[in-house]
Amino acid sequence: MRTIHTGVLKLSDAVNWVAEKVCTLFIGLVVVITLIAVFYRYVLNVGLPWPEELSRCMNIWVTFLGASIGFKYSDHVGVEFFTNLLPRKFFWVIRFFLRIGIMEQFKGQHDVFQGIQVMQKLESSFEAILPEKSGFER
């Protein structure tokens, strides 16, 4: 049993290491891409269409990967502020309930994503049976 636990911890550490490196790479790329976009827009007077979208996408990935890294190390500025105000004996109880709450949040986000997929499937099936024109169009 201990070998399974050790293996899972090693796998978790490896995944976290990769997430840290990807976050570092993406943050560096966002800086470079932004500098390139600024140079093209204000020096060459040519606006590139792709830097804003790519930077936004990479920032989103950094946000979610950074959240997983923070979860691994139990680091969250807002949570630490409040848990440091409480007595030490309540720390583990609060940490337990926070982790349960975070897992419920992830489950809720998964449920929302599943619901969006179902609605998209229903929308495409309703398009076949709804009339093309309604009284609400201009």
What tens digit of pLDDT does each residue of 120-132 get?
666 655 555 555 5
Number of domains in the chain: 1
Q: What is the pLDDT of residue 1?
A: 66
Q: What is the spatial distance between Cα 75 and Cα 79, in angstroms, rounded to a whole number?
A: 8
Query: Tell me: the pLDDT tens digits for 1-27?
Result: 678 878 888 988 899 999 999 999 999
Domain assignment present for residue 65? The answer is yes
> What tokens were used for 71?
């979860």
- Evaluate if residue 109 carries a pLDDT over 90: no
Could you list the residue range(s) of the whole structural domain that residue 3 is in?
1-73
Query: Mind listing the pLDDT tens digit for each residue in 34-55?
Result: 999 999 999 999 988 889 889 9
In a domain, 15, yes or no: yes
- Residue 14 belongs to a domain: yes
What's the mean pLDDT in 102-127? 68
pTM of the model: 0.59
Residue 44 lies in a domain: yes
Residue 81, in any domain of the structure: no
Nearest to 91 by CA among 83, 99, 82: 83
Whether 100 is in a domain gets the answer: no
- The model's pLDDT over 72-84, given as tens digits with 9 standing for 90+, comes to 877 666 666 776 7
State the average pLDDT for the chain.
79
How far, in Å, are 24, 37, 41 from residue 30 at the CA level?
10, 10, 16
In a domain, 87, yes or no: no
Rounded average pLDDT over 83-99: 75
Tokens 């190390």 — which residue? Answer: 73
Q: What's the confidence (pLDDT) of residue 88?
A: 75
Give mean pLDDT, residues 89-95.
74
pLDDT at residue 78 in the model = 63
12: in domain: yes
